Amino acid sequence: MNPEFKRNLWLNFSLHRLIGMPAILGLIFLAVAMNGQANHVGSSAAMLFVGIVWLWGTKNAAAAIGDEQRDHTWDQQRMSALSPWAMTWGKLLGATLFNWYGGAICILVLLISDLAKDPINTLLKALSLIAMSLLLHGAALVMNLQLGQSDFAQNRRGSFNLLLAIPALFFMPSVFELSETPITWWDISFMPLQFQLLAGSFFAVCSIFAAWRLMQNALQVRTQPWAWPIFACLLTAFLAGFNHENLPMLGLIISSSMTYATLFSEPNSITIWQRIQQRIQAKNWHGALINLPLWPTTLILSFAFSLLATGAAPSELSSITTAPLSIALMLLRDSAVCVFLAFGPKRGVANSLLYLALINGLLPFLAHSSDLPSVAYLIMPINHPSSIASILISAIHALMAIALAFWRWQALQSAQR
Amino acid sequence: MIQISDLTFDYTGHRALNQLNLQVERGSVTALVGANGAGKTTLMRCIAGLETPLAGSITVAGLDVQEQPRTVHRQMGYLSDFFGLYQELTVAQCLEYAAASQGLAKDAIADAISTTAARLSLSDRLGQKASSLSRGLRQRVAIGQAIIHAPQVLLLDEPASGLDPEARNELAILFRQLQASGMTLLVSSHILAELEAYSSHMLVLRDGKILEHRALHQGLASKALQLRLASPNDKLIEILSAHPAINLSKADTLHAEFDFNGNSAEQARLLAELIQAGLAITSFGEQNLQQAYLRSIEGGKS
């Protein structure tokens, strides 16, 4: 048996818990049935599943990494002979095993209660619940493995797990309210539950794959950064299924968002870049790539999408800006600002968030509020009426930020010599 | 067993290891000493493959740590200074998990648990939860987890911190046993008297650089000796300086530290000669690790 799974089995199961879970669930279902709401036993089971497996299980999946780091057992695991895949599934299913035990009882009750009435929808609902659980648990592992590398303090990482409530809340209504309105995706019509099952399964596979990739890095099996930009493309293709009028612009928005996500969640200190420089100088391209942070990959992708979007036909999305290239250039500027701050002595992430909010939000807002549109366009050129001016000003912003980062890089390099 | 070339490791704004070159002999026990921030823990974590250095290479048992970290881990045990245990598992479960996760065959795990438990005097504690153990016993369980797969190299970062003298003595006995079984140990500690009980080599780090790396008991080669007189004698320095086998490193009218080229018999003759020369010697012998370390540090400063 997978040692990590077995260890979780030891920790999660006792005779008391083994008996307690079905006893409590049984009493709840009995109470619902005796209250004259026998028809609601199935929906109660689905609701309990959401509570036990989606919410509690996601918390446990997140703790599967966080607790190891907090309790100083993570190094022992990183030095173990377990393969990254064995460690991933050992944690994914092991840490949530007790939740799955309760969830299995809920699914059984749901099937017994509703299968005869509406077999297809009941089966789809049960499978959707399971797929969404795997998606949430996988995403919890991903988030905690990723944040484990960042300079976020251990006690602050927990609050990021609340972000996982977003997909949970997005999918939750369709589990309880069966809509008959079909969903059209890439001109194919799906029933809502059917679509939820397919989408949930696809993203569950993506999240488990991402957890495995991050586990590989944690266990010293270093990977090259190709999966992150591919996921950006897949996510673009998925969302474009609902509206593919301007796919490149959608791709630009997604890859830009993913660049920001990794900019704030990856270490970006000067030591990382010195390591890359050393490997490039030694012509060790593989070594340079495995040390490269993920954000440059989606930054490059953003430029590719911006060039495609520049030539694309106008659409609702393209009304955001007159020049998609200026979005990519401003993203480059923000990346360079983050790198500049990460090279500094203080906490880079907190400073980056503060300064980016200032230059992207507060200063342009103040300029607009003061009836100084020309100043506002100088600070935030994305909405400039002239495409050429927008691109030029954005390019100047980007060059200035790159020069700042380069200046600090050189200053630190010479200080260390 | 461990070969390090030009190892450099940077934290932001601080060079923790600066072009280290080092060779650790197979079967040796190397005491890794140095002030806080000297780079001891960083060096251990780099050898363990838990940190990626800026430059340089580390090989353990002929394997490159950066190229094949997972293969190296099978040859290596590591106890970090802030080790953790799974509080709710029993000692037997902790050891079983460590053995299984280190890839031991299923039918070898029971044997490995009983052998390791016996070695660490934990046989009667196997059913006890880790959370209920004393600090010393927890330390032993953590060491048990690090050695259960019989690694060739064992890295121990401050293994005796927080232990009582009796537990430290047991630890020293264990480390000597591990050395006798062919294991190579690299042990960092601030308690130099404890390291002296089992170390064969001393590696002094200062500001990320190697200040000294030498064998502690060198047989016929030079020995670091020290003597103390009952009362001050102005001739002490003169007498010692005149001796051809002595290289004086530190002396005043009451106390002297010096390197002596000679074996044990010659050392006994030297003592007789010094007494005959009229020196009222109250103590005479090899310098302990603490003195050797301080001497290295002073030498490094000058």
Average pLDDT, chain A: 86
Residue A319 touches partner B, C-beta closer than 8 Å: no
Q: What's the confidence (pLDDT) of residue B243?
A: 85
Residues A164 and A277 both lie in one domain: no
Residue B105 touches partner A, C-beta closer than 8 Å: no
Residues A275 and A340 both lie in one domain: yes
- Report the alpha-carbon distance of residue A218 to residue A320 in Å, rounded: 39
Residues A207 and A288 both lie in one domain: no
Residues A207 and A250 both lie in one domain: no
Query: Which of A49-58, A276-285, B251-260 bottoms out in mean pLDDT, i.e. has the lowest?
Result: B251-260
Spans in chain B with pLDDT lower than 70: 217-222, 289, 295-302
Token reading at A89: 């599934």
Residues A367 and A255 both lie in one domain: yes
A54 or A155, higher pLDDT: A54
Residues A244 and A314 both lie in one domain: yes
pLDDT tens digit sequence for B115-173: 999 888 888 999 999 989 888 888 889 999 999 998 999 999 988 877 778 878 888 88
Nearest to A81 among B15, B50, B103 (CB): B103
Nearest to B70 among A72, A220, A271 (CB): A220
Residues 9-28 of B with CB under 8 A from A: 10-13, 15
CB B1 within 8 A of CB B200: no
Residue B284 touches partner A, C-beta closer than 8 Å: no
CB contact under 8 A, A274 and B69: no
Residue B50 touches partner A, C-beta closer than 8 Å: yes
Residues A323 and A198 both lie in one domain: no
Q: Which domain-ending residue is among A167, A187, A221?
A: A221
Which of B145, B1, B10 has its CA nearest to residue B78?
Answer: B145
Q: What SS3 class is residue B27?
A: coil
Which of B8, B46, B101 has the highest number of chain A CBs within 10 A, making it the mutation to test binding with A?
A: B101
Fold of B222-301: Alpha-Beta Plaits (3.30.70)
Residues A328 and A196 both lie in one domain: no
Containing domain of residue A86, as a range? 1-221
Q: What's the confidence (pLDDT) of residue A161?
A: 65
- Report the alpha-carbon distance of residue A69 to residue B106 in Å, rounded: 28
Q: What SS3 class is residue B75?
A: coil
Q: What is the 3-state secondary structure (H, E, C) of chain A?
A: CCHHHHHHHHHHCCHHHHHHHHHHHHHHHHHHHHCCCHHHHHHHHHHHHHHHHHHHHHHHHHHHHHHHHHCCCHHHHHCCCCCHHHHHHHHHHHCCHHHHHHHHHHHHHHHHHHCCCCHHHHHHHHHHHHHHHHHHHHHHHHHHHHHHHCCCCHHHHHHHHHHHHHHHHHHHHHHHCCCCCCEEECCEEECHHHHHHHHHHHHHHHHHHHHHHHHHHHCCCCCCCCHHHHHHHHHHHHHHCCCCCCHHHHHHHHHHHHHHHHHHHCCCCHHHHHHHHHHHHCCCHHHHHHHCCCHHHHHHHHHHHHHHHHHCCCCCHHHHCCCHHHHHHHHHHHHHHHHHHHCCCCCHHHHHHHHHHHHHHHHHHHHHHCCCHHHHHHHCHHHCCCHHHHHHHHHHHHHHHHHHHHHHHHHHHHHHC
CB A295 within 8 A of CB A259: yes
∠ at Cα A232 (A50, A264), nearest 5°? 80
Residue A227 lies inside a defined structural domain of this protein: no
∠ at Cα A151 (A146, A156), nearest 5°? 80
B10 forms bridges with which residues in the sheet?
A: B15
Q: Which domain-ending residue is among A160, A193, A221?
A: A221
CB A140 within 8 A of CB A54: no
Query: Which of A176-180, A396-400, B57-61 bottoms out in mean pLDDT, i.e. has the lowest?
Result: A176-180
Residues A299 and A187 both lie in one domain: no
pLDDT tens digit sequence for A71-92: 888 888 998 989 999 999 999 9
pLDDT tens digit sequence for A333-375: 999 999 998 887 776 677 888 888 888 889 888 988 888 888 8
Residues A22 and A143 both lie in one domain: yes
Residue A226 lies inside a defined structural domain of this protein: no
- Structurally, how many domains does chain A consist of? 2
Q: How confident is the model at residue A323 (pLDDT cuts 50, 70, 90)?
A: confident
The C-alpha of A229 sits at a distance from chain B's nearest C-alpha, in angstroms, of 25
Residue A391 lies inside a defined structural domain of this protein: yes
Nearest to B74 among A6, A76, A81 (CB): A81
What does each C-alpha distance from A292 to A222, A277, B10 come to in angstroms?
11, 10, 17
Domain boundaries, chain B: 2-215, 222-301
CB contact under 8 A, A6 and B10: no
Token reading at B243: 């001796």
Q: What's the confidence (pLDDT) of residue A289?
A: 92
The C-alpha of A83 sits at a distance from chain B's nearest C-alpha, in angstroms, of 9
- Superfamily for the B2-215 domain: P-loop containing nucleotide triphosphate hydrolases (3.40.50.300)
- Report the alpha-carbon distance of residue B239 to residue A57 in Å, rounded: 79
pLDDT mean over A275-296: 90
CB contact under 8 A, B54 and A274: yes
∠ at Cα A409 (A407, A411), nearest 5°? 70
Which of A11, A73, A289 has the highest number of chain B CBs within 10 A, making it the mutation to test binding with B?
A: A73
Residues A155 and A213 both lie in one domain: yes
